[in-house]
């Protein structure tokens, strides 16, 4: 293919993909199947790697990430990123309104009210329609250049067909939708990781990750609320929002124009409760004078604009009495202390319990039973105790001594050196751990047995019918029909659900057996790398850390899991029941045999591919991927940051070392 022809095709594909992305992410509609969309993207990726000189930094292929930022460059903002003054009462709002009226020397003005999105402020610069820079707020004058990471946010246009001006800036809030945040925490819980505190901090942490492909997985989103530029003529803030919307930016449809401060107060009242139904966290309302010329007239104080203010929703916290501390045992044996509270109304719901995380947290808070405590509900689902109201402490309050024995099975608790969490080691005799493992095994991402629920698992366990996942497959009609609430149909449903789960793919089963730190994604990586359970079972620590994205902690945990005879016996029984313990290779059929009989080692970081992706391409082209360099090896595909020892070894053994571009040539020959 000639360069000119490739250029035309790339342009066409880019336009198409941008169009479908916009429809999908901003308008929630789709004119194309997922499969066809993926095909378009794959075609663009292939062409860009064949003609790297045609790859634009604003290509939609950037969405999947891959770029590594070692250190974020500090950038000075063209217009300082100020913050808003806060108000907490309607009286203070009326005072703000009086100041506006005085400053304008008129009562002919209106307000534009928006929600205050709880995320991370971002400033995006567009030049000739292209996103050229994304910078965090930083100290207001200088922020961090996080462009590569921001490009992975699907609702942020990388190019604009009809920009309002050759150069302009838009500002908004990057946030993590509540659903995504809950999902991430659920996954962390699944593998026994500490939970993230709230969506805002998680969004902020995600934006500062070094590997943008990891950021892409965080599914961040962004609402824009400011348009800035030297040559802009938009007369009102409302017009600016409309103009941003037309250019393809994500504008929350929740804003409203208000004629006076009373209408503003009504807007606040409307959202005070309703905001909990929004897909993201909000912590207030932002009130802005609508006319841009009036905004200019009012100007700024040293810190804040005089034409805008925020009304913060009542802090979502309450004071209540700590009646007791109880202890919960998780699937992994981790003990979580729970505050049992005098019921209190908080953010629309009655709160009776709050997590206390671990013993350090109790110590840090200097908590005593009988204390009045501050309970807060931020972005997190579970409220937390944030402090003690010492002024209300009485002499009858009693210090908390963290339990030394498991509250469920009385086993002496362990606390590993340097770890905050206490554990119960009675893996096979502690009820919540056993039930937890079965619940983990049947969940959607594992064996997906939806005819089984928590209550039935409890019953099955208490009736001594099931004490491990493998027992599920030995259940008979007679066993189940005798359980509480079971009749003929429900019994047959349950059994057929268990039977149907036997076709779950290997990666689901591997996740389901519950190796600590092995979440669904890691299970998938291990399954595809090793192909079957026996290979994983025999893999050494050194071999495991060779697997892309498998770190020391996971490798140690996998080795430990397979050293336990009980686990080996359990897997043996699951195998006997007919569960799948190997990858179905027919799904990964070879597409052609260009690389037949050739062996490859892939090492380092690549511009256009993830390492796993590259390996998949080799396999699809008939090649074989191995992990260590030997004299028999045909090619070492070398990316950036490849270890020097690998290179030396390959050179010594006369193995061809090829770059990513040379690899592309090889498969496109």
Which is closer to ligand IVH, CB of 171 or CB of 516?
Answer: 171
Element (H, E) at 574: helix 565-576
Binding residues among 596-655 for ligand IVH as defined by CB under 6 A: none
Distance CA 566, CA 561 (A): 9
**Closest among 193, 169, 571, 482 to 357, alpha carbons compared:** 193
116 is catalytic: yes
| Window 130 to 149, contacts with ligand IVH (CB under 6 A) | 137
Closest distance to ligand IVH from the beta carbon of 271 (Å): 12
CA-based torsion, 482, 483, 489, 492: positive or negative: negative
Q: Which of 43, 55, 116, 576 is flagged as catalytic? A: 116
- Alpha-carbon torsion angle 358, 361, 362, 363, nearest 10: 120
Name the one residue in this structure whose structure tokens are 């994205």.
549
Our finding on whether 83 is near ligand IVH (CB under 6 A) is: yes
Which residue lies nearer to ligand IVH by CB, 226 or 426? 226
From candidates 51, 96, 111, 117, binder to ligand IVH by CB under 6 A: 117
Q: Are the beta carbons of 372 and 321 closer than 8 angstroms?
A: yes
- Which C-beta is closer to ligand IVH: that of 137 or that of 611? 137
Structure tokens at 499: 């039977």
84 forms part of the interface with ligand IVH (CB under 6 A):
yes
What are the C-alpha distances in Å from 557 to residues 369, 381, 551, 552, 563?
Answer: 37, 29, 10, 9, 10
Give the x/- contact pattern for ligand IVH in 218-257, rule: CB under 6 A: -------xx-------------------------------
Q: Does 557 help bind ligand IVH (rule: CB under 6 A)?
A: no
Task: In angstroms, give the least distance from the CB of 243 to ligand IVH.
Answer: 16
Position among 45, 146, 240, 286 found at the interface with ligand IVH (CB under 6 A): 286
Please, what is the minimum distance in Å from the beta carbon of residue 171 to ligand IVH?
A: 7
Does 281 sit near ligand IVH (CB under 6 A)? no
Find the binder of ligand IVH among 55, 77, 116, 445 (CB under 6 A).
116
What number of chain residues touch ligand IVH (CB under 6 A)?
14
By the rule CB under 6 A, 294 interacts with ligand IVH: no
Which CB, 223 or 663, lies closer to ligand IVH?
223
114 contacts ligand IVH (rule: CB under 6 A): yes
CB 635 within 8 A of CB 655: yes
Distance CA 289, CA 96 (A): 11
CA 309 vs. chain centroid, Å, equals 31
Q: Which is nearer to ligand IVH, 200 or 520 (CB)?
A: 200
Distance between CA atoms of residues 287 and 115, nearest Å: 9
CB distance 388 to 367 below 8 Å: yes
Instruction: Report, in Å, the least distance between residue 305 CB and ligand IVH.
Output: 5
Nearer to ligand IVH, 78 or 652 (CB): 78
Please tell me what DSSP assigns to residue 51. Answer: S
Considering the complex, state which of residue 286 and residue 375 has its C-beta at the smaller distance from ligand IVH: 286
Looking at 121, 215, 322, 614, which residue binds ligand IVH (CB under 6 A)? Answer: 121
Interface mask (CB under 6 A) for ligand IVH, residues 165-204, using x and -?
--------x-------------------------------
Residues 6+ apart with CB under 8 A from 644: none
User: Binding segment for ligand IVH among 116-124, 323-331, 333-341, 449-457 (CB under 6 A)?
Assistant: 116-124
Q: Which is nearer to ligand IVH, 92 or 582 (CB)?
A: 92
What residues numbered 375-414 form the site for ligand IVH, per CB under 6 A?
none
DSSP state for residue 603 in the 8-state scheme: E
CA distance 61 to 44: 7
Q: Which is nearer to ligand IVH, 310 or 479 (CB)?
A: 310
Q: Minimum distance from CB of 225 to ligand IVH (Å)?
A: 4
| Site track 295-334 with ligand IVH (rule: CB under 6 A), x = hit | ----------x----x------------------------
- The dihedral sign for the CA sequence 444, 447, 450, 452: negative
Helix ranges, 33-171 (H): 34-50, 90-104, 147-150
Contacts 24+ apart (CB under 8 A), 636-639: 636/600, 636/601, 636/603, 637/600, 637/601, 637/602, 637/603, 637/663, 638/603, 638/604, 639/602, 639/603, 639/604, 639/605, 639/606, 639/607, 639/611
Considering only 2-10, 16-24, 80-88, 144-152, which stretch makes contact with ligand IVH by CB under 6 A?
80-88
For residue 312, the SS3 value is strand
137 or 331: CB nearest ligand IVH? 137
Least distance in angstroms from the C-beta of 80 to ligand IVH: 9
> Contact region for ligand IVH (CB under 6 A) — 115-123, 400-408, 440-448, 548-556?
115-123
Residue 83 is given by DSSP the state -
Question: Taking a C-beta distance cutoff of 8 angstroms, is the pair 146, 207 a contact?
Answer: yes
| Residues identified as active-site | 116
Interface with ligand IVH by CB under 6 A: which residues? 82-84, 114, 116-117, 121, 137, 173, 225-226, 286, 305, 310
């Amino acid at each position: 293919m000639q360069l000119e022809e490739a250029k035309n095709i790339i342009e066409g594909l880019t336009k198409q993909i941008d169009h479908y992305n916009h429809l999908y992410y901003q308008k929630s509609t789709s004119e194309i199947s997922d499969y066809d969309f993926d095909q378009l993207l794959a075609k663009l990726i292939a062409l860009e790697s064949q003609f790297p000189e045609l790859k634009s930094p604003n290509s939609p292929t950037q969405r999947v990430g891959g770029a590594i930022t070692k250190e974020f460059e500090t950038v000075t903002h063209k217009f300082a990123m100020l913050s808003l003054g806060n108000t907490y009462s309607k009286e203070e709002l009326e005072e703000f309104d009086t100041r506006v009226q005085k400053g304008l020397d008129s009562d002919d003005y209106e307000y534009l009210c928006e929600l205050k999105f709880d995320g991370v402020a971002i400033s995006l610069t567009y030049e000739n329609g292209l996103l050229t820079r994304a910078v965090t707020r930083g100290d207001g004058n200088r922020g961090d250049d996080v462009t590569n990471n921001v490009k992975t946010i699907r609702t942020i246009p990388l190019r604009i067909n009809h920009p309002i001006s050759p150069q302009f800036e838009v500002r908004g809030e990057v946030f993590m939708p509540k659903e995504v945040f809950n999902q991430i925490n659920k996954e962390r819980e699944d593998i026994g990781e500490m939970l993230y505190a709230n969506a805002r901090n998680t969004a902020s942490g995600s934006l500062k990750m070094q590997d943008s492909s990891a950021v892409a997985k965080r599914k961040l989103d962004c609402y824009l609320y400011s348009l800035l530029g030297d040559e802009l003529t938009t007369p009102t803030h409302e017009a600016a929002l409309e103009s941003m919307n037309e250019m393809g930016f994500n504008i929350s449809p929740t804003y409203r124009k208000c004629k006076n401060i009373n209408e503003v107060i009504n807007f606040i009242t409307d959202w005070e409760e309703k905001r909990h139904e929004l897909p993201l966290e909000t912590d207030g309302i932002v009130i802005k004078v609508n006319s841009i010329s009036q905004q200019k007239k009012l100007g700024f104080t040293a810190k804040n604009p005089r034409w805008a203010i925020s009304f913060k929703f009542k802090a979502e916290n309450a004071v209540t009495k700590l009646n007791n501390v109880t202890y919960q045992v998780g699937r992994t044996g981790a003990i979580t202390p729970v505050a049992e509270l005098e019921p209190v109304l908080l953010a629309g719901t009655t709160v009776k319990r709050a997590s206390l995380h671990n013993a350090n947290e109790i110590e840090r808070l200097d908590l005593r039973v009988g204390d009045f405590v501050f309970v807060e509900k931020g972005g997190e689902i579970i409220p937390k105790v944030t402090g003690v109201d010492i002024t209300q402490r009485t002499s009858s309050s009693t210090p908390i001594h963290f339990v030394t024995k498991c509250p469920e099975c009385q086993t002496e608790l362990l606390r590993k050196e340097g770890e905050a969490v206490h554990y119960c080691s009675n893996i096979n005799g502690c009820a919540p751990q056993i039930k937890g493992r079965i619940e983990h095994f049947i969940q959607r991402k594992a064996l997906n047995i939806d005819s089984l629920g928590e209550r039935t698992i409890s019953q099955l366990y208490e009736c001594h019918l099931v004490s491990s996942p493998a027992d599920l497959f030995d259940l008979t009609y007679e066993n189940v029909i005798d359980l509480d609430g079971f009749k003929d149909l429900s019994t047959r449903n349950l059994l057929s659900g268990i039977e149907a789960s036997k076709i779950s793919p290997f990666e689901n089963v591997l996740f389901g057996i519950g190796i600590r730190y092995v979440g669904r994604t890691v299970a998938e990586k291990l399954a595809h790398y090793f192909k079957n359970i026996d290979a994983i079972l025999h893999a050494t620590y050194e071999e495991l850390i060779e697997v892309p994205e498998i770190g020391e902690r996971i490798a140690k945990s996998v080795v430990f899991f397979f050293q336990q005879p009980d686990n080996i016996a359990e897997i043996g029984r699951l195998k006997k029941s007919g569960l799948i313990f190997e990858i179905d290779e027919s799904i990964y059929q070879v597409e052609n045999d260009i690389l037949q009989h050739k062996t490859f080692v892939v090492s380092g970081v690549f511009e256009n591919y993830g390492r796993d992706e590259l390996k998949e391409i080799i396999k699809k082209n008939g090649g074989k991927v191995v992990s260590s360099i030997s004299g028999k090896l045909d090619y070492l595909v070398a990316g950036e940051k490849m270890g020097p020892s690998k290179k030396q070894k390959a050179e010594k053994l006369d193995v061809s070392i090829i770059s990513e571009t040379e690899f592309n040539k090889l498969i496109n020959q």
